[in-house]
Amino acid sequence: MTDFSPKNRAPASPLHVFLIAGEPSGDRLGAALMAGLKALAPGVAFSGIGGPAMQAEGMESLFPMEELSVMGLVEVLPKYFHLKRRIRQAAEAALAANPAALVTIDSPDFCLRVAALAKSARPGLRTIHYVAPSVWAWRPGRAAKMARHIDHVLALLPFEPPWMTAAGMSCDFVGHPVVSEPVAGPEQARAFREAHGIAPDAPLVVALPGSRRGEVSRLLPPFGGTLRLVAARLPALRVVLPTPRHLADTVAEATKDWPGNPVILPAPDLAARTAAFAAADAALAASGTVSLELAAQSCPMVIAYDMAAPTLWLMRRMARIDTVTLVNLVSETRTVPEFIGPDCRAERIAPALLALLQNGPGPQAEAMEVTMQRLGRGQEPPGLRAARSVLDHL
């Protein structure tokens, strides 16, 4: 590694923070944190790796964040050596910046390796990880391993801090950013349908097969099969697919023969995305943070997810929970149906989705409301809470 002895360090600014995000959800978290830091510590400077949201807040990304959006054992293997080079490059850049803190945001397979390298080279470097790893779900030993090179954790879920402090790190629950996003009302929902030629009474499904190329390719076939079965019962069905811009062409090509005259929304802005969720009668979504985004807009959902067989086998061997859906976990209910691995098949998913379209959200409505309350709706914005936690720790 490059020589980072004191004589070769960059001079410290009044407050310089090096941040790393590896996927779109982390980019949004990082941008909100940066905005909060600018509000509480005017003059703060940033460097690191991030996407368009973080760049809009004043960061020049070291390399494109999209290179890091890889998930799963089998999916990572072809890019292993390239990712190793990027890990070393990120650690060296963090040390060269001589920041007050290195803040890594989610993407633990990449971010925590960067933190380990940087902390090993400079033990006094303050390291903060944003988004506690789901040790309550699987691999609880990760917390103790993480504590070797992470000082402080910013948790999104209210039940996470005890897991982190037990491993030797300080931790604050800062709220989930979804609770501060604007909620689209009936007017926005109506305008969305009108803008895309969707009749007011047409059953509308928003399909969300993920943001990573691998998971989108894996989920589009069962999603399409599910919608064909639903459309056979509801011929007026319409479908909307929000998708990252770099996947828009792939999604459009793969869905051109889908029922429901799919509307592709390439990289929709937040207003368009929330309007789509509010306009929809139900969602068919990949597992992940999107379940909370849907809950924020009171859109009932069915969760479906598949992955490479070895990855699924490993996760099931180590799982400590009986559901992967965050709405189920936070609300302490099991109202959101989910179809994982071998169950991610059209003939199994379709009846659950059809039930939502025909009968409404049912118990999901209360579970979604409880989830938003527990995640901090009505309190100080999470980005500001996270910024205050960072500054208090420093």
Same domain, 354 and 383: no
- Of 2-6, 33-37, 120-124, 162-166, which range is least confident? 2-6
| Residue 109 and residue 228 in one domain | no
Q: List Cα–Cα distances, 156 to 134, 228, 246, 322, in angstroms.
A: 11, 36, 28, 20
**74 touches 310 (CB < 8 A):** yes
- Pair 84, 195 in one domain: no
pLDDT above 70: residue 317: no
Cα 105 to Cα 343: distance, rounded to the nearest angstrom: 31
pLDDT of residue 212: 83
pLDDT of residue 133: 86
At CB < 8 A and 24+ separation, what contacts does 185-188 make? 185/278, 186/278, 188/271, 188/274, 188/275, 188/278, 188/279
Close Cβ partners of 186 (under 8 Å, ≥ 6 residues apart): 278
What residue spans of 124-264 are helical by DSSP H?
141-146, 161-166, 186-195, 213-233, 248-254
Residues 148 and 205 in one domain: no
Q: Tell me: do 137 and 57 sit in the same domain.
A: yes
Q: Is residue 1 part of a domain?
A: no
181 in a domain, yes or no? Answer: no
Mark whether 289 and 222 lie in a shared domain: yes
Is residue 180 a part of any domain in this protein? no
Q: At CA 310, angle to CA 217 and CA 336, rounded to 5?
A: 65
| 249 and 273 together in one domain | yes
Q: How many domains does the chain have?
A: 2
What are the pLDDT digits (tens) for 174-199? 999 899 888 999 999 999 999 999 99
- The pTM for the full model equals 0.77
Domain of residue 171 covers 6-175+379-393
pLDDT at 231 over 80: yes
Round to whole Å and give the CA distance between 342 and 335.
Answer: 20
Number of H helices, E strands in the chain: 17, 12
Strands 282-285 and 301-305: parallel
Residue type, 58: G
pLDDT value of position 323: 84
The reply to whether 151 and 218 lie within a common domain is no
Closest CA to 76 of 106, 51, 27, 110: 110
What span, in angstroms and rounded, lies between the C-alpha atoms of 138 and 386?
25
Q: What is the pLDDT of residues 283-313, one digit of tens each?
A: 999 988 899 999 999 999 999 999 766 666 5
Mean pLDDT of the chain, nearest integer: 90
At 203, which CATH number? 3.40.50.2000
Q: Judge whether 81 lies within some domain.
A: yes
Residue 73 within a domain: yes
